[in-house]
């Protein structure tokens, strides 16, 4: 087994030296603190001194739009590129979080199938990313795994999916607070955007899972038949800190 791994490593280094890395596609980045990650038990530390994440979410009118990354490609309107997604636009000022006195406003939330983050190797069928930005343009993202079960607010958001080349879908008003799990425990680490340009310094808060109906899961998976998730990236010595002793 060890020998096979060594051979594989040599093969990879040859490929890199031959310049073949370009063929690996835009999901590759050589930066060291990338996202998503597989949260393994050994990487988790409990830190009782973490500042609380204060969440202030209210009601907002929502528009769902398709985020297209292949507009200049022939057939782009029907090709599902893996960095594309369905994104819900939030009315400015309707939701924000505060961390250590810094306010981050919710800008949008979007979805990946399967989940991008893993917990000890386990994926969820869907993951929601709620993207917040502060006045200095720093990003804080809350990730919520979504599993099949009782219907939730996510069912309303994804009831009709926006077409890749067409009009946005007007979802109507939703209670943003109901998107998050009741218990606000989080696992935190510093990572990156999971799509190009993979910018680092993103504060990630991974929360407990919520449910969504199987019908909504299937609708999203039917749109992204090859998935729209980036593979887990190496932790490279990073720890994941939790704000409760048990998560
Ligand atoms: Zn995302």
pLDDT of residue 247: 59
pLDDT exceeds 50 at position 142? yes
**Residue range(s) occupied by CATH 3.10.200.10 in the chain:** 31-242
pLDDT exceeds 80 at position 5? no
3-state secondary structure of 27: coil
Confidence of residue 109 (pLDDT cuts 50, 70, 90): very high
Q: How far is the CA of 111 from the centre of ligand 1 (A)?
A: 6
Give the Cβ contact number of residue 114 at 10 Å.
16
Q: Could you read off the pLDDT of 220-235 as tens digits, one per residue?
A: 999 999 999 999 999 9
pLDDT of residue 12: 36
Tokens representing residue 110 in the block: 């979007």
The residue ranking higher by pLDDT, 246 or 98, is: 98
Q: How far is the CA of 22 from the centre of ligand 1 (A)?
A: 23
| pTM reported for the whole predicted model | 0.88
Q: How far is the CA of 37 from the centre of ligand 1 (A)?
A: 13
3-state secondary structure of 127: strand
pLDDT of residue 29: 73
Question: DSSP letter string over 213-228?
Answer: -HHHHHHHHHHSTT--
pLDDT of residue 71: 81
Q: How far is the CA of 65 from the centre of ligand 1 (A)?
A: 14
The architecture that CATH gives domain 31-242 is Roll (3.10)
Q: Could you read off the pLDDT of 146-185 as tens digits, one per residue?
A: 999 999 999 999 999 999 999 999 999 999 999 999 998 9
Q: How far is the CA of 128 from the centre of ligand 1 (A)?
A: 7
pLDDT exceeds 90 at position 136? yes
| H or E element that contains 188 | strand 186-192
Q: How far is the CA of 12 from the centre of ligand 1 (A)?
A: 28
Q: How far is the CA of 5 from the centre of ligand 1 (A)?
A: 31
């Amino acid at each position: 087994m060890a020998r096979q791994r060594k051979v594989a490593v040599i093969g990879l280094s040859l490929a890199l030296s031959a310049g073949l890395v370009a063929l690996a596609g835009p999901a590759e980045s050589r930066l060291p603190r990338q996202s998503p990650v597989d949260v393994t038990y050994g990487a988790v530390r409990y830190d009782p001194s973490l500042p609380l994440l204060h969440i202030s979410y209210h009601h907002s009118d929502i528009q769902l739009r398709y985020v297209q990354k292949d507009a200049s490609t022939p057939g782009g309107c029907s090709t599902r590129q893996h960095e594309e997604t369905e994104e819900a636009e939030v009315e400015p000022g309707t939701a924000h979080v505060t961390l250590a006195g810094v306010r981050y406003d919710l800008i949008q939330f979007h979805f990946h199938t399967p989940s991008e983050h893993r917990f000890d190797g386990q994926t969820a069928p869907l993951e929601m990313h709620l993207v917040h930005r502060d006045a200095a343009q720093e990003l804080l993202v809350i990730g919520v795994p979504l599993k099949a079960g009782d219907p939730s607010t996510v069912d309303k958001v994804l009831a009709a999916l926006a077409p890749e080349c067409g009009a946005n879908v007007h979802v109507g008003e939703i209670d943003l607070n109901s998107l998050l799990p009741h218990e606000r425990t989080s696992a935190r680490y510093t990572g990156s955007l999971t799509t190009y340009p993979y910018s680092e310094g993103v504060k990630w808060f991974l929360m407990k899972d919520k449910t969504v109906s199987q019908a909504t899961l299937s609708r999203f998976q039917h749109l992204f038949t090859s998935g729209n998730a980036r593979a887990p990236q190496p932790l490279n010595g990073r720890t994941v800190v939790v704000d409760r002793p048990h998560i």
